[in-house]
């Protein structure tokens, strides 16, 4: 018989918490889940930004049609007196951007780093300024009878207008002279350096343009009115008004230079030839947003057929559109 005074060995209780191995396994599982979810979150955020950009462009289309209702024509690309040309507003030595701008050019990697300096600004007003009342910007008051050098006018050009900027656009926070950015340009039409007989000003916006809906004989729903650009510029600068479709580039994410007769300088210095203006492009991965002349907005693939894209940038070329866009 076992003695009642004999001590009994009690089992050791299980200590609380995780072992090191268990903790490492949990961390690894969490890291795996995050790595799987992060791309989806980023895609969802970019989709939201792209939709916000489309809403901006729908607002542009609605504003342009309100302008058409009031003035019977769409706004001019920019207003200029050809008999009394004005000198550019020069800002020599003041950079377009405080840091180099890396742009993905056509032709593949590596991207080209472009330092834009010696910025000049057009003395004229473009469609961005003309559409301000229709864009519900009643507090941005411009006196078109005075030049941009008027202090009150120039101060208004510093007002950032959210609807003029794509949320996906990657622009420096520091703006030159605190001017407001824009991501959108009007359609000037198409042009080809490979075709000496290529038409000019066959789009919607150009110097002193006054295009009405009756002038868009190719169809309002098949003609581009506004589009995104990688480097839009400043909404108060009429050099940022317009872009053309170019059929000598693999896609419309490329910048290009041309003679002064074809475009006007935005930036340049002794080391870098004048950069005139950029064709259409976007910070969205595969798509670029456009507004059509009927007021609708849609995303178009960056790999769209060149002839189709050229056709939808012409308002009266009668080019057949052989594919969906």
Read off the pLDDT of residues 132-182 as tens digits, 9 standing for 90 and up.
999 999 999 999 988 888 889 989 999 999 999 999 988 777 777 788 999
Determine contact, residues 187/205, Cβ cutoff 8 Å.
Answer: yes
Cis upstream peptide for 110 (omega within 30°): yes
> How far is Cα 64 from Cα 131, in angstroms, rounded to an integer?
7
- Report the percentage of the chain scoring pLDDT > 70: 72
187 forms bridges with which residues in the sheet? 243
> How far is Cα 222 from Cα 116, in angstroms, rounded to an integer?
35
> How far is Cα 305 from Cα 303, in angstroms, rounded to an integer?
6
Determine contact, residues 163/184, Cβ cutoff 8 Å.
Answer: no
pLDDT less than 70: residues of the chain:
1-18, 90-120, 192-198, 231, 246-278
292 forms bridges with which residues in the sheet? 224
How high is the pLDDT of residue 310?
86
Q: What is the pTM of this model?
A: 0.75
> How far is Cα 180 from Cα 176, in angstroms, rounded to an integer?
9
Tokens 């405080």, located at residue? 98
How high is the pLDDT of residue 196?
61
How high is the pLDDT of residue 12?
56
> How far is Cα 129 from Cα 245, in angstroms, rounded to an integer?
23
How high is the pLDDT of residue 299?
93
- Enter the tokens of residue 319: 């080019």
Determine contact, residues 289/228, Cβ cutoff 8 Å.
Answer: yes
> How far is Cα 117 from Cα 146, in angstroms, rounded to an integer?
27
- Enter the tokens of residue 168: 């996906």
């Amino acid at each position: 018989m076992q003695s009642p005074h004999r001590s009994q060995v009690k089992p050791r209780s299980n200590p609380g918490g995780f072992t090191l191995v268990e903790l490492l396994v949990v961390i690894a599982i969490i890291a795996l889940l995050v790595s799987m979810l992060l791309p989806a979150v980023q895609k969802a955020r970019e989709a939201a930004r792209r939709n916000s950009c489309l809403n901006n462009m729908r607002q542009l289309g609605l504003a342009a049609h309100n302008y058409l209702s009031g003035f019977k024509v769409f706004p001019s690309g920019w207003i200029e007196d050809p008999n009394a040309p004005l000198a550019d507003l020069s800002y020599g030595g003041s950079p377009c951007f405080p840091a180099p701008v890396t742009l993905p050019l056509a032709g593949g990697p590596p991207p080209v780093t472009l330092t834009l300096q010696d910025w000049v600004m057009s003395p004229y007003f473009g469609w961005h300024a003309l559409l301000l009342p229709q864009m519900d910007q009643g507090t941005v008051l411009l006196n078109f009878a005075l030049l941009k050098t008027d202090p009150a006018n120039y101060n208004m050009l510093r007002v950032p207008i959210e609807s003029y900027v794509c949320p996906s656009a990657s622009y420096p926070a520091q703006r030159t002279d605190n001017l407001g950015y824009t991501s959108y340009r009007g359609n000037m039409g198409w042009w080809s350096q490979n075709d000496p007989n290529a038409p000019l000003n066959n789009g919607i916006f150009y110097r002193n343009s006054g295009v009405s809906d009756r002038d868009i004989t190719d169809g309002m729903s098949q003609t581009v009115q506004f589009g995104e650009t990688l480097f839009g510029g400043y909404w108060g600068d009429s050099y940022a008004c317009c872009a053309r479709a170019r059929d000598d580039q693999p896609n419309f994410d490329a910048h290009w230079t041309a003679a002064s007769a074809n475009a006007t300088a935005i930036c340049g210095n002794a080391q870098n030839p004048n950069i005139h203006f950029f064709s259409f492009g976007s910070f969205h991965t595969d798509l670029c947003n456009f507004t059509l002349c009927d007021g609708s907005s849609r995303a178009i693939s960056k790999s769209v057929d060149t002839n189709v894209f050229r056709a939808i940038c012409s308002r009266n070329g009668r080019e057949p559109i052989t594919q969906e866009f």
